[in-house]
Structure 1
Amino acid sequence: MQFHRYAIYHLPEGALADFGAAWLGWDARTGRHVARPEGLPGNAEALTRAPRRYGFHATLKAPFRLAAGRDPAELARTLRMLCDRLSPCELQLEPRDDHGFLALRPQRQPPELLALESSLVTRLDEFRAPLTPQEYDRRNPDLLPARARMHLDHWGYPFVLDLFGYHLTLSGALPPAECALLHEALSPHLTPLIAAPIPLRSVALMGEDGDGFFHLIEDVPLRG
């Protein structure tokens, strides 16, 4: 399959991953649409339209086009070498709606997670083609805080390094009242899935197909 862009994500495992894929309607691990189970609250089709094509994931290096002269095999090799020195960790998640959308976020970001994100953002940046003017404008640079604008200019994405926040997205942008209602409605489904910390023991090399849906190319274990 030909991919237009690449990204590095964390894809959860087990029952939480199954729920996330079912809620969003797209399973990035298997590259297929998933039927939503009965009993989920709200209009999942409308609530998840924006995040659906990315799959249930946390972004570690945001989607990018390959730089001239680079190829996917070289990207994968470099990612494997980096992951040989990066350590796994565990994350205690909680649902939060404090950024204009519902997501699962860690109660704290352990040092291993911050080192992982920093290494992937900086050490893989040679593979990233510069943003086109259209890609740049889609980030609304004039509305970003100065630090986020600086990261956008340098790394192609505003919320990296000191502004990084791990999150597993569960909805598109929502008004605060609707976001709070969705939080309340999904909590009974999510609570047993996140009662124990979830492992982050591999990262996923992802590719975006011609329809804008992301697929798992390779799961790379963290061996540090």
Structure 2
Amino acid sequence: MRYAVYFTPPQDDALTKAAAAWLGRDAFTGETLAPPAVPDLTLEAWRMLVAEPARYGFHATLKAPFSLAPGRTEEELVAAFDSFVAATPATVIPELTLSSLGAFFALTPGEDSAAIDDLAAKIVRYFEIFRAPLSPEDIARRNPDKLTERKRAHLERWGYPSVFEDFRFHMTLTGQVPPEDQEQVRDILSPRFADFTGRPLPISHLGLFAEPERGAPFTVMKVALLGGAS
């Protein structure tokens, strides 16, 4: 079993529903949904686009997936999650945008957000006591030779390379998209998420996700309202 602390809107939120419809999977229920109707995109091409983000569920990573440290229990993790959420104020992304990050597409803040960066850093540190050390195989999966020196240090110390200075809030919508297909994929995604881009996104909830076994789909264990949110 692995766990992760992610941002996700609640189950009944319009963005959650739109993302689940695009990904073909609802991480709250674990249900596989009917493929979306996408002109000029074959069913197989769509499946290849969404396979990886669908397995993780619609989210933004705040504490990357981890196994429990020796001596820690799921009950302790859930209690710590509840305490953290109750004591941590909500914040907001002033403007959400559709971005290409390298070869994949995601919903991201339109500009840097110190409040989101601070929240992510706090979560990384707070839940670190629950994280088991990475195995050599886990480290190898991250291709450490291709990481910067700072990211390698983050991987070894925190179990994930993209933390602190290297963190960027993003809610992934696709896997790797070849350069020649990026314009087409952007044209597909832009109208699907037009109701959410160019607008604020409240960061008012956190989710505790679980992966029953390595490679299985992640599902939502719990979503809770951050302190001060309404």
Question: How high is the TM-score relative to the length of structure 2?
Answer: 0.90
| SS across alignment from 1:77 | helix
Q: Equivalent of 2:102, from 99, 102, 122? A: 99
How many angstroms apart in 2 are the aligned matches of 1:56 and 1:72? 22
TM-superposed CA distance for 1:121, in Å, is 0.4
Structure 2 gap segments, 5+ residues each: none
How many angstroms apart in 2 are the aligned matches of 1:24 and 1:156? 27
* Structure 2 residue 5 is matched with structure 1 residue 5: no
| Paired residue type of 1:220 | A
* Structure 2 residue 148 is matched with structure 1 residue 145: yes
2:165 matched residue in structure 1:
162
TM-superposed CA distance for 1:202, in Å, is 1.0
The 4+ residue runs of structure 1 with deviation greater than 6 A are none
Cα deviation 1:120-163 (Å, max 9, x = unaligned)? 10111110001111111000001001111110010000001111
2:75 matched residue in structure 1:
73
- Identity, % of aligned positions: 38
Question: How high is the TM-score relative to the length of structure 1?
Answer: 0.92
How many angstroms apart in 2 are the aligned matches of 1:193 and 1:39? 19
How many angstroms apart in 1 are the aligned matches of 2:2 and 2:134? 12
Q: Equivalent of 1:62, from 61, 64, 75? A: 64
* Structure 2 residue 210 is matched with structure 1 residue 214: no
Q: Kindly indicate whether the alpha-carbon contact (under 8 Å) linking 1:87 and 1:112 is maintained by their aligned counterparts in 2.
A: no
2:53 matched residue in structure 1:
51
Larger deviation, residues 6-15 vs 104-113: 104-113
Structure 1 gap segments, 5+ residues each: none
Q: Equivalent of 2:136, from 133, 137, 148? A: 133
Cα deviation 1:179-218 (Å, max 9, x = unaligned)? 2320122111111233421211010001112361111111
How many angstroms apart in 1 are the aligned matches of 2:103 and 2:188? 16
| SS across alignment from 2:182 | helix
Root mean square deviation, CA, Å: 1.6
Equivalent residues, number:
221
Cα deviation 1:65-118 (Å, max 9, x = unaligned)? 001111111011112222223221222211111321011110124333122111
2:121 matched residue in structure 1:
118
| SS across alignment from 2:52 | coil
